[in-house]
Amino acid sequence: MDSFSKPTFDPKEHQHLRYNPLRDSWVLVSAHRMKRPWKGQVEKPPEDNIPRHDPHNPLCPGSVRANGQVNPEYDSTFMFDNDFPALQPDAPDPGSDHHPLFQSKAARGVCKVMCFHPRSDITLPLMTPAEIRKVIDKWADLIVELGAEYTWVQIFENKGAMMGCSNPHPHCQVWASNFLPNEAALAERCQRDFLQKHGEPLLVQYARMEAQAQERVVVENEHWLVVVPYWATWPFQTLLLPRRHVLRLPDLTAQERDSLASIMKRLLTKYDNLFEVSFPYSMGWHGAPTGSHLQEDMSHWQLHAHYYPPLLRSATIRKFMVGYEMLANEQRDLTPEQAAEQLRKLGEEHYKMKKTEGDGGMEN
């Protein structure tokens, strides 16, 4: 290349913008920033000596919770009403204020906590596919139960102290509300607009194209596909998609639920193997709205799950969404293709299982 010619674009070397059609927003990709030395904050590695059972842990079988109730000696999943809920079903209406700068409206709902397993020292990737299947079935039941009344049922898991999880026991939360939250409303609008313009659900078309390209695929099976999305913001963010058009979790067949348990275990094992640590993340399911929307045509929706992990360079160096990201534009420090390649090449045997093989494996 002579001194007057323009350099050829290389996504690994040259910053560029990528469009996120699910949020109608843009992400700045600056992969060359990974070359800079890191002298910022270093996190403590996640705790790795969690006891199997702690009688003082309010999520363990037989423990006493903050409200004085005693948990049953459960041996599978366990569900209870959140003792400190952000939403309550009988909250009074704040009334209406007609000034455009000071608006409020009623917010009602319920919040539940769901334990995945009776043991505190186990996480989803270390559970058996059959145990994960029970979690999936319970998720689907909750969508049916709470969705009969509420507009939106948000299932989410915050894993690890880095993501604000206050208890190491494997669990998730379920918040059901009489309103469509901001992210759900945005996904609703974007998916509806895409179907109207292009004649096919956004994520149905996207999954097919990603399966054909393979460039950002992490794991896949007959019924499911996991990719680092083209528009990913978090370093090792992934999107879990069904291969057929599905609106909500309860719509999954028995075979699709078994396949989902399998692919979740494979993905989460790769996450843990990346830095050989219990990988922190926030994840959640997005499906078609419920409540009154159950009687509407919601064919523009496609069921999907988001995984948002913060780790960037190692088990102790995370991505911060501050400054420019908060005030101007989302930005990432490696390309989604680089992230997908790193995850894809990892083995699917959990690093803890390898370390314990000499001792006969993990105790059940």
Residue 307 annotated as lining a ligand binding site: no
Distance CA 148, CA 141 (A): 11
Lay out the sheet containing 16-20: strands in order across.
16-20, 25-29, 330-332
Asked if residues 140 and 250 have their Cβ atoms less than 8 Å apart, the reply is yes
Residue 12 annotated as lining a ligand binding site: no
Residue 166 annotated as lining a ligand binding site: yes
Residue 325 annotated as lining a ligand binding site: yes
User: If we measure between CA atoms, which residue out of 236, 317, 313 comes closest to residue 43?
Assistant: 317
User: If we measure between CA atoms, which residue out of 185, 172, 221 comes closest to residue 293?
Assistant: 185
Residue 34 annotated as lining a ligand binding site: yes
Which DSSP state fits 76? S
Residue 319 annotated as lining a ligand binding site: yes
- Each as own residue / partner, the long-range contacts of residues 125-133 (CB below 8 Å, 24 or more positions apart, any chain) are 125/265, 125/268, 125/269, 125/271, 125/272, 125/350, 126/350, 126/352, 126/353, 126/362, 127/170, 127/265, 129/258, 129/261, 129/262, 129/265, 130/261, 131/76, 132/261, 132/264, 132/265, 133/257, 133/258, 133/261
Residue 103 annotated as lining a ligand binding site: no
Residue 331 annotated as lining a ligand binding site: yes
| Both structure tokens of 187 | 């996904």
State the catalytic residue, choosing from 117, 171, 223, 286: 171
DSSP H or E segment with residue 240: strand 238-242
Q: Kindly report the number of other CB atoms within 10 A of residue 208's CB atom.
A: 14
- How distant, in Å, are the alpha carbons of 56, 135, 158, 310, 357 from that of 114? 18, 9, 12, 23, 31
Distance CA 318, CA 268 (A): 18
Angle, alpha carbons 270-257-165 (nearest 5°): 50
171 is catalytic: yes
Distance CA 44, CA 290 (A): 40
DSSP H or E segment with residue 312: strand 311-314
Terminal-residue alpha carbon distance, the chain? 61
Residue 49 annotated as lining a ligand binding site: no
Residue 230 annotated as lining a ligand binding site: no
Residue 66 annotated as lining a ligand binding site: yes
Asked if residues 13 and 292 have their Cβ atoms less than 8 Å apart, the reply is no
Annotated binding site: 33-36, 66, 82-83, 158, 164-166, 173, 319-320, 324-325, 331
Annotated binding site for UDP-alpha-D-glucose: 33-36, 66, 82-83, 158, 164-166, 173, 319-320, 324-325, 331
Cite the active site residues.
Answer: 171
